[in-house]
Amino acid sequence: MSKKSKKTNIKGEALRPKELKKHILFLFKKNPRKRFNPRQIIKKLKINNTAPSVHSALEQLCKENLLIEAGEFKYRINKYTSGDVKVETYEGIVDMTLSGAAFVTCEDLSKDVYVSMKNLNSALNGDKVRLVVTKVALGKKPEGVITEIIERASESFIGTIQVSKNYAFVIPDISNMHMDIFIPIKEIKEAKNGDKVVVKITEWNSAENKSPVGKVTAVLSGRNKSDLAMKTILINNGFDWVFPDNVNKEAEALSTEITEEEIQKRRDLREVTTFTIDPLTAKDFDDALSIQYLENGHCEIGVHIADVSHYLKEDTLLDKEAITRSTSVYLVDRVAPMLPEKLSNELCSLRPNEDKLTFSAIFEFDKNDKIVNRWLGRTVTHSDRRFTYEEAQEILEAGEGDFAPELKAMNRIAKVLRKAKFKNGAIAFEAEEVKFKLDEEGTPLYVYTKERKDAHMLIEDFMLLANREVATFIIEKGKNEGKEIPFPYRIHDSPDPGKLADFALYAKQFGYHINTDTPRSIANSLNKLAKDAREKNELRMLEPMAIRTMSKAEYSTNNIGHYGLAFNNYTHFTSPIRRYSDVLVHRLLDKNLNDNTFRTSKDTLEAQCKHISKQERKAMAAERESIKYKQVEFISNQIGNTFKGMVSGMIDKGLFVELVENKCEGFIPFNSLEDNYRISEGRMKAVSTFGNKTIKIGDILNVIVVKADIEKRQIELDVV
């Protein structure tokens, strides 16, 4: 029998699943413009299959990206993946617009791809998708169609529930999600009509105008508006503030006992002077330093890190939850931890006067403060003292107090490490860290910037050393064996040449020269800018712009070094309580110590690195949102008050001004000023119509707070 007769001679048959799929697809290919439902397909093919079996085949073809659900139980051909001609596809991240359309950023394309609302295939903001480019017009962004959702940015959303007799809908709060979520009545939990709820999607629908299906996981009863806003920020960025019950149960079952058998497997350092230095509000102490003097007169300093991987076993519920989160999220008034409290604040926290299991990097320094020996391995330690940064700094400045000689010796060596780092070409930019003093209700009382002193930098320098040396150990081991050992590195590429050239031209308008000849000359120019910006206000505006020319640091198995730190090899080893990357590093490092060699799948590890990097970016976005919210909340109680502000930017409609005292940024519309202004070319200054008044970037103005819109995170100012 010919192939042709096989396709047509099926009348009255009940086809097996594989044959059924083949004939259904053939029907759609013959009718590329038509849409069919299961009963229409049965009638067209004249087969004896049931409607449910045909529906099942259709769903499978949708999963294989060959058909697309078209609403009203109908389906249509996916012309971009079902044709005889192979269509090139791209992967990218969705950036939704308020109109409901989106732009997709693809690594392999120089321009973002525009996707209309009808071609989104249910994709939402932040989703990782596969798409095809369907149209490219000269001078315009390419247009495309999303053919597959590879990874959802978030499965949970916050919104207002509307309850009917037999079902409910949740209207999401985020303005760029243009679909309501259908909730079966049995899945509304205790929610009542009008409640603010968290809903988790259980079934996505790609058909146009068809809602996804979800279930209510929590009814929000924030103690106040700010509390609700912080929870919303977490959920909208793909994080949760609570752990599933089964994860908490697994954590609570972990033993707190440190057995003698376990101690025997480790280097015992409990008698060595050890202490932690952390922020005043810290509860999870994941790093400690130790110091002792050896018989040869050398100084031995240990960097001791909580041995999270001892408790966090691979493929457990705890481990799966940890890698899903990948990071702790630090908002202004709370932390959404990567690990449950039993681990983060109890088992793994290096609390004073308690024996703890640790993973250590120990360094021997000679009398000239040069490293002459390095040891890596598992240890048991005992912290003698918990310092806050303020306490440690006070002792360093006074020269007396608990462990004063030890702190002074560590500080001296840290400065040697720091000097060498900058001599090698490290970048000295330090973004100002905004902090808040909150009352018991979480309301901001005042805003300030965190000041970095020797105590902060001491800890940072020894953590950098440990991270660098762990990465170097793996690199050297691989070279000695003649074969790479896959490992998660923390990498930072050199600045983008195009962005750097644009920035150099912009800086020139300030009379500032950026030498872009070599990586070292770039670093020297940027370091000089960082130093000069402390003395000249207008140059301070260049600092954040210079930082934006830099590539983003990320995790990768492909070690290209860390440009910003001027390290050839670098990883993250020192914070496994709050970063999953460090957990991976601990596990792989342990398997490659003591003459052992272990090589994991590089592809699998690279996929984990990409996921962790993505989660890190989302956590940073959540942190920035929380800071902006609290800044506007603080300013909302300052209406009518005056502040000194520095002009930080300009657009055609007005000026951006950063308040000097608290770093809050507001906007002054030009139409609120007495004169009319126009922006000069380069947006460096605004000149009044008659040319007798000029406002420049970096100018200090006396401004009054006119309005603060907490919902929109906007502050309006006026010139006094």
Q: Please write the tens of the pLDDT for every residue from 190-229.
A: 899 999 999 999 988 755 557 889 999 888 876 678 888 8
- Give me the pLDDT at residue 3, please: 43
pLDDT band at 540 (very low <50, low <70, confident <90, very high): confident
pLDDT band at 519 (very low <50, low <70, confident <90, very high): confident
pLDDT band at 682 (very low <50, low <70, confident <90, very high): low
pLDDT band at 6 (very low <50, low <70, confident <90, very high): very low
pLDDT at 580 exceeding the cut of 90? yes
Residue 353, sorted as left (phi over 0), alpha (psi -120 to 50) or beta, turns out to be left
- Give me the pLDDT at residue 82, please: 63
Higher pLDDT, 420 or 449: 420
Higher pLDDT, 540 or 522: 522
Q: Using CA atoms, how far apart are residues 57 and 25, in angstroms rounded to an integer? A: 10
Nearest to 520 by CA among 545, 486, 494: 494
Whether the CA torsion 264, 266, 271, 274 is positive or negative: it is negative
Instruction: Give me the amino acid identity at 144.
Output: G
Query: Do β-strands 128-135 and 167-172 pair in parallel, antiparallel, or remain unpaired?
Result: unpaired
3-state secondary structure of 553: coil
The total number of residues shown for the chain amounts to 720
Higher pLDDT, 274 or 120: 274
Q: Which helix (H) or strand (E) holds 500?
A: helix 497-508
Q: Averaged over 419-429, what is the pLDDT?
A: 89
Nearest to 489 by CA among 556, 578, 579, 589: 556
- Give me the pLDDT at residue 136, please: 73
Pull the structure tokens for residue 327: 């990071």
Residue 238, sorted as left (phi over 0), alpha (psi -120 to 50) or beta, turns out to be left
Q: Averaged over 2-28, what is the pLDDT?
A: 78
Range with the lowest mean pLDDT among 3-7, 117-121, 484-488, 645-649? 3-7
Instruction: Give me the amino acid identity at 252.
Output: E
Q: Using CA atoms, how far apart are residues 101 and 600, in angstroms rounded to an integer? A: 41
pLDDT at 92 exceeding the cut of 80? yes
- Give me the pLDDT at residue 117, please: 87
Q: Using CA atoms, how far apart are residues 703 and 707, in angstroms rounded to an integer? A: 12
pLDDT at 453 exceeding the cut of 80? yes
Q: Using CA atoms, how far apart are residues 487 and 473, in angstroms rounded to an integer? A: 11
Instruction: Give me the amino acid identity at 83.
Output: G
Pull the structure tokens for residue 423: 């001599």
pLDDT band at 107 (very low <50, low <70, confident <90, very high): confident
**CA dist list (Å): 94 to 104, 122, 210:** 5, 11, 20
Q: Which helix (H) or strand (E) holds 648?
A: strand 642-651
pLDDT at 688 exceeding the cut of 90? no
3-state secondary structure of 272: coil
Angle at which helix 497-508 crosses helix 542-549, to 10 degrees, equals 160
Nearest to 17 by CA among 46, 63, 65, 53: 53
515-552 core/surface letters (b: 16 or more CB in 10 A; e: else): eeeeeeebbbbbbebbeebeeebbbbbbbeebbebbee
pLDDT at 380 exceeding the cut of 60? yes
- Give me the pLDDT at residue 619, please: 96
Residue with tokens 């909150």: 438
Range with the lowest mean pLDDT among 24-38, 373-387, 474-488, 559-573? 24-38
Q: What is the mean pLDDT of the chain?
A: 89
CB 115 within 8 A of CB 133: no
Identify the bridge partners of residue 449 per DSSP, sorted by sequence position. Answer: 434
Higher pLDDT, 6 or 435: 435
pLDDT digit string, tens, across residues 232-287: 899 989 898 889 999 999 999 999 999 999 999 999 999 999 999 999 888 889 99
3-state secondary structure of 487: coil
- Domains, the chain, ranges and CATH? 3-77 (1.10.10.10), 90-151 (2.40.50.690), 156-221 (2.40.50.690), 248-481+576-620 (no CATH), 636-719 (2.40.50.140)
pLDDT at 438 exceeding the cut of 80? yes
pLDDT at 325 exceeding the cut of 90? yes
